[in-house]
Amino acid sequence: MPRPPRNIRLNPDLPLQLLGCLDETATGVVLFDPEDRLRYANRYFREAYALAADSTPTWEEMMRRCHRERVGLLIESEDIEAWLARVRLKRRQSPKRCFESDLADGRWLRVTETLHPGGWLLAVTTDVTALKVNETTLRQARDEALRLSITDALTGLHNRRHVFERLDELFLSARQLRYPLAVAVIDLDHFKDVNDAHGHGVGDQVLVHFARVLRQALRPQDLVGRIGGEEFLLALPNTEPQGVHQVLRRLRTSLAADPPVPALPQLRTTFSSGLAHALPDDNVHTLWTRADRALYRAKAAGRGVDLDDDTVTGFAV
């Protein structure tokens, strides 16, 4: 056991007073001998680990009981011996270590272990459940704020800023890996007429419906976002020109079969699109510009059509 400094004279009653105080504290205190057998545990620790007042198990015996009876430390492993073998690689390997553990009753503990030269191991546990709950709440709030910052509030698609940031990433990957990248800019036909005839509430329903059908038509790796009032951008990695046209045909078929507003069954959503395929000398701006230019040609051609930019050769060789 560690000895007190020589210049301190202990009151004979001090050990009992100290043990009494430790037994009342809301912090767990436990001491293991060089053979890793429990020699002292205050009331807080014994209650947390469901230990009888006179029990002196080894640390491994404690862990086996925790696993078997689902008390104390939460051990989420079907094989307790394999778990013990992994933990032995860290236990008693450094003079001091700190880590967090969760208990079977849902609490979180921060554990500080101090290994003394003689082999005695002192562990102090502090309940950090409230801190972990606050940390989780803050993380969830941060994640939600991030989600909102990149999401179009009406349709739930990516917003304009984020969709162009992601397009930069997809373009760079396509260039590095030399696979095709297709971009389609979509504009809903006669959307102003819908707003003028039925009101902006119906117009919003049309946009939400179109976004839902659009998501269903795409693969997980495809990028889609709302970049204007009734304008959307698609980026389809590793997709040849014919593949893009197949996606747009499926989208048109789904829209024709599914009215956007149940109260207005005669209302249907149609769209025009301009397509461009990445070229070796492209950058994101030129790729986007060519797709946008093709969209204007599609609208001028009578709407409801998909037109490619004049050049369709991509990166892939």
Q: What is the CATH number of the domain that holds 21?
A: 3.30.450.20
When pLDDT is cut at 50, 70 and 90, the band that residue 104 belongs to is: very high
In a domain, 110, yes or no: yes
Note whether 295 and 155 are same-domain residues: yes
Work out the mean pLDDT of the chain and round it to a whole number: 87
Asked whether residue 6 is domain-assigned, the answer is no
Domain co-membership, 165 together with 237: yes
61 carries an active-site annotation:
no
Where does residue 64 rank: exposed (0-12), middle (13-18), buried (19+ CB within 10 A)?
middle
Helices 160-177 and 284-300 sit at what angle, rounded to 10 degrees?
110
What's the structural domain count of the chain? 2
Which of 101, 132, 163 is a domain's end point? 132
CB 209 within 8 A of CB 195: no
- Would you say residue 307 has pLDDT above 90? no
| Residue 28 in domain | yes
Q: Does some domain include residue 317?
A: no
Percent of the chain with pLDDT over 90: 69
Give me the catalytic one of 61, 81, 135, 230: 230
35 and 119 in a single domain? The answer is yes
Q: How many CA atoms lie within 13 A of 109 on its CB side?
A: 23
In a domain, residue 54? The reply is yes
The pLDDT of residue 313: 36
> What is the value of pTM for the model shown?
0.59
Residues 245 and 184: their CA atoms lie apart, in Å, by: 10
Tell me the β-bridge partners of 122: 31, 114
Q: Which residues does 216 contact at the CB level (< 8 Å), separation at least 6?
A: 254
- Is residue 182, in this structure, part of any structural domain at all? yes
Tell whether 140 is covered by a domain.
no
Q: Strands across the sheet with 271-277, in order?
A: 223-226, 231-237, 181-188, 271-277, 306-308
For residue 137, being part of any structural domain is answered with no
In 3D space, the residue among 222, 243, 220, 240 whose CA is nearest the CA of residue 232 turns out to be 222
Among 298, 289, 293, residue whose Cα is nearest residue 270:
298
Q: Domain residues for 69?
A: 14-132
Per-residue confidence band for 12, with pLDDT thresholds at 50, 70 and 90: low
Is residue 259's pLDDT more than 50?
A: yes
